[in-house]
Amino acid sequence: MPSTVWEEYFKKTGNNPPRPLLVKALERVSKKSGNALDIGAGALNDTKYLLNNGWDVVAIDSSKEFMKYATHVTDKKFQAVNLPIEKYQFNKTFSLINAQFVLSFIKKDLFKHALDQIISSLESGGIFCGNFFGQEDERNKVETQMTFLTRKEVESLFKDFQIISFNEVRENAKTAAGKMKYWHVHEIIAMKK
C-alpha cells in the first residue's frame, strides 16, 4: 500500500485498544510472561498491551510509520524490527506469537516458507494468536499477490497444535479507513504441542 494509506491507517488506529483475540489468547496462556513476537505491530496497540502484562516483545512491521511509534516506547523489554516478516531472521523462540491482519499480505510464493519459520520459532506449549483472510474476502477479487485460505487450509497449517479457539467471520463491516467491505476472516488461537 502507498505510504499515505499507511499514514492514515496509523492515525486512525493509534489509540485503539488491544485486539480482542489477543486479550482472549492471554487469558488462555499458561505462562504469564515470556518472549512474545508481534507481527505487523502497526501502531503498537497489542505490543503495549503485552509489555504492560510483563512480556518481552519483539515487534515487527515493514512500514516507515511504525518506527515513528516505536521510538516513543522506552521499555527495555521492547525491540522494534522494521522489516517485512519474510526477511526477519528467526534466532530465538517465543512463548506467544501475535499476527493479526498481516499474514495474508505475504505474497503467495513466500507464504509457506514464512509461516513455517513463524511456527518453528514458537516453543512447545507456546500460543499462536492470529488470523488469515478467507477465500470469500472482498480483497480476493482484486489482490493477486495476497494469500487467501480456506478453513481446511488454515486447519492444516496448525495440524500439530491444540486448537483453543477457531472462529470464521463473514460480515460486512468498515475498514480502518471507514470504507465498507465484505470480510471473510479465519481467527485462530492455538497451542503448539
pLDDT digits (tens, 9 = 90+) for 86-109: 999 999 999 999 999 999 999 999
- The helix or strand, by DSSP H or E, that contains position 163, with its residue range, turns out to be strand 161-174
Average pLDDT over residues 127-145: 96
Q: How sure is the predictor about 173, in pLDDT bands with cuts at 50, 70 and 90? A: very high
What is the rounded CA–CA span in Å between residue 158 and residue 146? 20
pLDDT digits (tens, 9 = 90+) for 35-90: 999 999 999 999 999 999 999 999 999 998 899 899 999 999 999 999 999 999 99
pLDDT attached to residue 4: 62
- Rg of the chain over Cα atoms, rounded to whole angstroms, equals 16
Q: How sure is the predictor about 186, in pLDDT bands with cuts at 50, 70 and 90? A: very high
Average pLDDT over residues 129-135: 98
Q: What is the pTM of this model?
A: 0.93
Residues in the chain: 193
Is 168 strand, coil or helix?
Answer: strand
The candidate with the shortest Cα–Cα distance to 72, out of 62, 84, 83, 59, is 59
Is 88 strand, coil or helix?
Answer: coil
Domain 3-192: give its CATH architecture: 3-Layer(aba) Sandwich (3.40)
pLDDT attached to residue 3: 54
pLDDT attached to residue 6: 65
Domain boundaries, the chain: 3-192
Q: Which residues contact 88 (CB under 8 A, 6 or more apart)?
A: 60, 81, 117
Query: How many Cβ atoms sit within 10 Å of the Cβ of residue 98?
Result: 29
152 CB-contact burial (10 Å; exposed 0-12 / middle 13-18 / buried 19+): exposed
C-alpha cell at 73: 516506547
pLDDT digits (tens, 9 = 90+) for 139-152: 999 999 999 999 99
